[in-house]
Amino acid sequence: MHNKLDPILLQQHALVTRFQAWEAGLTPRQIDYLLAGQRLVPVYRGVFRDPAAPSTLEQRALAAVLAAGPGALTSHRLAVAVWGMRNYQCSLIEITAPGARRLPGVVAHRSMRPAQQTSVRGVPITTTARTIIDVATLVSRGVLSMWIETWLSSKLLTLDDLEQQMSELKGHAGVPFVRAALTSRTILHAESDSPPEAALGLLLQRVGLPTLTLHHIVTTTSGHVYELDWSYPELQIAFEMDGYGVHLRSLDAFESDRVRRNELGIDGWIVMNFTKRQVEKRPNTVIDQAKRQVEKRTLLGWPQPV
């Protein structure tokens, strides 16, 4: 890599814009030479990354911010992931910008008022208070409440900051949802939703499989937010307890479950479905299938390189 770019790449998660390369002293011909030799690869128009560096969440977020131009910020569901949220993954690239132009694969919100902003590990981002208000209409009330409690307990968020931001954003659609979540605050704990769900987790845990994650939350590249029963997020394997009665009573639930499986599958997730009867009557089959899937993905070195 051209040594004039090294300081920029080091500071920007292995990213550089064409304008920054020009400011660093490279001619357009030198920049094109680096691109032709794949020593730089395009991420968006005018934004390049060093292919020798690993792809990270921060890199993907910052690339979109750089491409969107001055005033752009990582926001909404992606901001939750960049700030850090236990049991949460986000494949969606989501930003806010004063006049956001269209970028492939990016959800860009146009903000009429400047969002409160800060920086996390070199990524321009909305504050935790603004982030909570922004996502309030995009996730379920239970998930919103859990996220608020998690950030309050970790001191990433304070009630004073949240109240002040809601006061400043009185017309924001998310404010009533946050207000409702705060009105009915409870201390949330990770517990299974039902005895059969708990039985599935205990069965898999008892046979020596690695520790499972309960109620991991995923935002897919399409923007859907899903909660998984049990999972190995690093392997993108989920184990779900299916209820025959729910699907029998509701065609909507049956169809929504298929949409959910397809959206997760597009993003690389394997969803393995089991029933209460299988866990009770055919536990060895459940264990065998789960083990083989975990072994297969482990041998493949999942996740696959970007």
What is the pLDDT averaged over residues 130-146? 94
* Sign of the alpha-carbon torsion through 220, 224, 225, 230: negative
Burial of 117 from C-beta contacts in 10 A (0-12 / 13-18 / 19+): middle
The torsion angle over the Cα atoms of residues 110, 115, 118 and 121, rounded to 10 degrees, is -20
Residue 188 is predicted with a pLDDT of 40
How many helices and strands, by DSSP H and E, does the chain display? 14, 15
Residue 112 or 19, more confident: 19
Cβ-contact 291, 207 below 8 angstroms: yes
How many Å apart are CA 120 and CA 84, to the nearest integer? 10
Beta-bridged to residue 256, according to DSSP, are none
Query: What count of Cα atoms within 13 Å lies in the side-chain half-sphere of residue 204?
Result: 29
The model's confidence at residue 242, banded by pLDDT at 50, 70 and 90, is: confident
How many Å apart are CA 262 and CA 273, to the nearest integer? 13
Residue 187 is predicted with a pLDDT of 41
Residue 202 or 245, more confident: 202
The model's confidence at residue 244, banded by pLDDT at 50, 70 and 90, is: low
DSSP state of 11: H
Cβ-contact 45, 67 below 8 angstroms: yes
Residue 189 is predicted with a pLDDT of 40
The model's confidence at residue 102, banded by pLDDT at 50, 70 and 90, is: confident
Q: Pairing relation of β-strands 117-120 and 123-126?
A: antiparallel
Whether the pLDDT of residue 28 is over 60: the answer is yes
The model's confidence at residue 112, banded by pLDDT at 50, 70 and 90, is: low
Cβ-contact 137, 99 below 8 angstroms: no
Residue 257 is predicted with a pLDDT of 87
In this predicted model, what pLDDT tens digit does every residue of 159-213 receive, in sequence order? 999 999 999 998 899 999 999 988 766 444 445 566 788 888 888 888 878 888 8
DSSP state of 9: H
Domains for the chain: give ranges and CATH numbers: 3-49 (no CATH), 57-183 (no CATH), 195-299 (3.40.960.10)
In this predicted model, what pLDDT tens digit does every residue of 216-229 receive, in sequence order? 999 999 999 999 99
Mean pLDDT of the chain: 89
Residue 190 is predicted with a pLDDT of 44
What is the pLDDT averaged over residues 284-290? 94
Cβ-contact 223, 137 below 8 angstroms: no
Q: Quickly list DSSP for 76-101.
A: HHHHHHHH--TTEEE--EEEEETTPP
Select the highest-mean-pLDDT range: 76-85, 143-152, 276-285: 76-85
The model's confidence at residue 100, banded by pLDDT at 50, 70 and 90, is: low
Q: Dihedrals φ, ψ of 32, to 5°?
A: -65, -30
